[in-house]
Amino acid sequence: MDIFFTMLLLFVVSLVAGIIGALTGLGGGTFLVPILNIFLSFPLHLAIGDSLVSTIITSISSSKEYLIKKISNPNIAISLLTATTLGAIFGSLTNNYFYTHNLYFVIYISFGLILLSSSLLLIVKNLKTKYHPDKPDKTTFFFNLFGKYKDGSNIIYYDGVRWYFGWIIMLFAGFVSGLLGIGSGVLKVLGLDLIMNLPIKVSTTTSNFMIGVTADNSSILYLKFGYIPFLYFPISALGVLFGAIIGTKLLLRLNDNYIRSIFILFVSYLGIKMLLEGINYNNNILIYLVPILISVFSILLGKIKRKEEYKNVEIEEYIKENQIDTKFTNILYNMQKYFLYVVILLSIISIIIVFLYNSIIVKYNTILYLFIVTFPFLEVVLETIKYIKEKDKKYAVIGFIVIINLIIGLILLPNLIF
């Protein structure tokens, strides 16, 4: 296939993946893996490596807007990143074991079952017409899991509950992230939405922030394993970046039930696709029929769902907003904005080099890759500094735990193995 056509096709695929990834909170990499492997015949380990970069880019591009609009919840994200960054280390090591022992069918089957189960659980959640905060539990107060955001003309107040169960889900999500080279946004959104009972917009946007940091912890190991396709990842980075920008704009205009319906459709499609691939059985009718039937079932249930009135919960007094938080949010927003500008510039230069010289400069693209994977680490460092400035000892310690996990995954473990 002509290299120009291949790169153009990859850009379009990445653009669509970025839109869907930002809209659902899954990250663009979740959709790139099956598309690159099944439709574009990428070797699975290289598709996973490419999706890792795409996931990080989607996270940074989409979370930028959500943070400044106060929709995503940094407290919830940082507290649960202690689990996902730890799980990602073990997942990436397991991935290499499966690859070297020709056991990748296990990944396909496991992930397919997880996705299909997730879509069915979301149908149950879709029976609610409006968000209902649960009664706060001990973890709600301990981790300050209260928040609010503006949805149209309404102010939605919420509180997170069952943090410990959410943490366990996130540990598994981190493992799956390292295993598949994605942000594992599927499990993150499910954990935040179903287990911790957060509004779907908060779940999606908070997941978008988390997926980049989670995927980041596998990045150097994947580089050492030789999983990064240096020829193609710059074009994927550009595609998902622009796609994430479009998806972010769409998310802010859609209501919660629309988002959940889109989520169900694509999760069920990927689930049946990966499951059939794992058992080496190709049936295009099933691949398209199953997600359509699941989506129709969800819509029909939505028509007969109970009408419930939103119950206003007096939690305003627990929501802490201060000038330090606003200042650091603006700093992070500007960092993300200029980071994306630099990624666009460097990616375009890389693509031009390919067309002019019909080759790539591996050293140049390695620098670009390292530049991309360094940024999520800096995001966590900045959040931790914010907590120190606020004299929030609890979250400062939590931030340091996440930093330690990242140092282990990014620096210590790769140097110990290789």
Cα 151 to chain centroid distance, Å, stands at 22
Alpha-carbon distance of 174 to 82, in angstroms, equals 10
DSSP string, 188-253: HHHIIIIIS---HHHHHHHHHHHHHHHHHTTHHHHHHHT---TTTHHHHHHHHHHHHHHHHHHHTT
Which pLDDT score is estimated for 244? 80
- pLDDT, mean over the chain: 80
Which pLDDT score is estimated for 1? 53
Alpha-carbon distance of 89 to 230, in angstroms, equals 23
* Amino acid at the residue 342: V
Alpha-carbon distance of 106 to 90, in angstroms, equals 16
pTM: 0.82
Which pLDDT score is estimated for 108? 78
> What is the residue-level pLDDT of the chain in tens, covering all 418 positions?
567 777 888 888 888 888 877 776 666 666 777 778 777 778 878 888 888 888 888 888 877 777 777 888 888 999 999 999 999 989 888 888 887 888 878 877 877 877 777 676 666 655 555 566 677 888 888 888 888 887 777 788 888 889 999 999 899 889 988 887 766 666 777 788 888 888 877 887 888 888 889 888 888 888 888 888 887 888 888 888 888 888 877 766 766 566 667 677 777 877 787 788 788 777 667 777 777 777 677 666 665 544 444 444 566 656 666 788 888 888 998 999 999 999 999 989 888 887 777 666 777 888 888 999 999 999 999 999 999 998 999 999 999 999 999 999 899 888 887 6
Which pLDDT score is estimated for 307? 43
The structural domains of the chain, with segments of one domain joined by +, span 3-417
- Give the chain's count of helices (H) and strands (E): 17, 2
Residue 171 gets which letter from DSSP? H
